[in-house]
Amino acid sequence: MLDPETRQAILARVEAALDRMETGEAPPEGIAAAFLEDETPVPDLYAVLAQMTALTREVQLQGRAANRLSSEVTQLVQEVSDNTVGQVTAKASAARRDAQTELLGELLDVRERVARGRDEARKRLASFGGLFVRFGSRPVVEAVLRGNELALERLDEILRRYGVHEIACEGAGFDPNTMHAVETEVRADVRPGTVTDVVRRGYQTAERILRYAEVRVSSGEKR
């Protein structure tokens, strides 16, 4: 066993060592003591990782939403563009159709005038006697008739190219969809409602009526 003096000496040395441990060591050179005394809590790495994962997920969701929105906007713009192009195309087509109808109407007016000239020339030729032949009138009228016939052939060729044809009327039943009755006449030799004469020729294409035929129609025998 230790004697009392030795025991006392050992206890004194242990107490001195403990005192030194409580006071702590001096900070290394170049590092302020206040830095070592900072009590700011050390970040939790698991919490930081969880936050970063959540943030990454949020960014991904936002990116998908942005892509979806961009796709919807692109589709909407395309639809608007297609509709606009369709409207412009439809308007252009309607404008061309109207212009073509107007042009064909002018050609039909010209054709009617030329046809009347041809018919008049035929009547004059039929009425000529020896006196007109003697003074050379017949060759002039024949030349006019031939000129009108050539002009009609050319006009009919152009109209056929556009699909225009005359509405067949005379001897047919009256059709209100293609004809206008301008006069009725009593005819016992034909059925009522039959077209007896064409006052003005009508024309149509496969799609529309360009000009209604103006006709005389039989109303049957008087009572």
* pLDDT computed for residue 135 by the predictor: 57
Computed over every residue of the chain, the mean pLDDT equals 76
Pick one of 3.40.50.11540, 3.30.70.940, 3.50.50.60, 2.30.22.10 as the CATH number of 164-223.
2.30.22.10
Spatial distance between the Cα atoms of 149 and 126, rounded to a whole number of angstroms: 17
pLDDT mean over 40-48: 56
pLDDT at 223: 47
Contact (Cβ atoms closer than 8 angstroms) between residue 150 and residue 127: no
Domain ranges of the chain: 164-223
β strands within 126-172, DSSP E: 165-166
Non-local (6+) Cβ contacts of 9 within 8 A are none
Task: Enter the pTM of the model.
Answer: 0.52
Higher-confidence residue of 85 and 110: namely: 110
